[in-house]
Amino acid sequence: MTRLKYRIYIGLLSCFLIAGNLQAQQNVQFSQYVFNGLSVNPAYAGYKGDWYLNTIYRHQWVGIPGAPRTGAISVDGLTNARDEKVGVGLQVMFDKLGPQEALSAYASYSYRIPLDDADTKRLCIGLGGGITQYSIDGKALTYVDDLDEAIPTGKTSIRIPDARFGVYYYTSSFYAGVSVMDLFSLYTDNSKYYWNGYSYKVIKKTQHMYLTTGFMWKLSEHLQLKPSLLVKEDFKGPTNVDLNAFLLIEEKLWLGASYRTGVRLWNKPQLEKGLDPIDAASFMVEYYAGERFRFGYAYDLTINKMASQQQGSHEISIGVFFANRQNRLRVSSPRYF
């Protein structure tokens, strides 16, 4: 059993460390998060005014066996289009890394407080709750003894409840938000799986904090610039920073790029010295077909030491708006964030 557990640890750890400086930050992050804020902040629910359905699929580090594959579908909107004070949302996500899989579902609630008579500024306070099922697939493990009873013949799973909290402020040309995800991770032990009398220790999610901000800058009648920033902190590894810039052409086409790196904001004794902070660069295009449909694609180019070991990451997303005739806010104040 000792040798088996050693092989399981090494296999999982290899997949995780190979992950281009994930730096102990296990939460899924999409390159196109700027077009679906619900994935990083529950207070974002209902921001777009109309009901909005978003689907996304990400294939990371193409060419590496067992590399992450992630998909999600979410829907959010307003419960009352007249005062627009309550937003709700639902998100379902799956994430597969080697022999480990995670399937989660979260519901979000946002109370949206108007801050001016023209209703161009709001402060939103959001809560989210859900459950995640973590699984290990024994068929995905490589072992020496075909009759080893310690290896699951199929999947073994465990379910863990969780919660989220966030605050989101926006105007017609600026936004800022802060959120804390995986609030229960400090108080639940989701690192062990049991099967046939054996226990397995695997990757454990940790508490994360997200800071987001950005603004719109009108360059001309047909061209606008949207710089944005995301800071992700797990309180253990280096702080992750995403710098983004998008050009909006004719209110239809977004062309953008992102640079992701790690920084040391304060001393973390458990953090190894000499880690390469550079992670990846992303190139994105988003196209709005009419008033209802959005199509997006992102390509991530790894620029750290593992660049030669894989062929980049691909991410595809589709968004659908369900217009509410009573809601005229999107006409007078387009949703750029």
Q: What is the DSSP string of 16-40?
A: HHTTTS-TT--S---TTGGG-GGGT
Residues 6+ apart with CB under 8 A from 31: 58, 258, 282, 284, 298, 300, 313, 315
Burial state string for 5-29 with b = 16 or more CB within 10 A and e = fewer than 16: eeebeebbeebbebbbbbbbbbbbb
What pLDDT, on the 0 to 100 scale, is given for residue 85?
93
**Spatial contact of 157 and 193, defined as CB atoms under 8 Å apart:** yes
- Indicate the average pLDDT of the chain: 79
Burial state string for 253-267 with b = 16 or more CB within 10 A and e = fewer than 16: ebebebebbbeeeee
The average pLDDT across 313-328 equals 81
| 28 residue type, one letter | V
What percentage of the chain carries pLDDT values higher than 90?
Answer: 43
Please name the residue that has the structure tokens 């719109």: 216
C-alpha dihedral sign at 20, 211, 93, 259:
negative
Residue 236, pLDDT > 80, answer: no
**Spatial contact of 166 and 180, defined as CB atoms under 8 Å apart:** yes
Task: Tell me which of 17 and 194 has the higher pLDDT.
Answer: 194
pTM of the model: 0.81
**Spatial contact of 248 and 223, defined as CB atoms under 8 Å apart:** yes
**Spatial contact of 335 and 76, defined as CB atoms under 8 Å apart:** no
The average pLDDT across 147-159 equals 66
Query: What is the distance, to the nearest Å, from the Cα of residue 260 to the centroid of all Cα atoms in its chain?
Result: 14
Extents of the domains making up the chain: 25-322
Residue 163, pLDDT > 80, answer: yes
Q: Which fold has domain 25-322?
A: Porin (2.40.160)
**Residue 201: which pLDDT band, with cuts at 50, 70 and 90?**
low
Q: Per-residue pLDDT tens for 258-267? A: 998 877 776 7
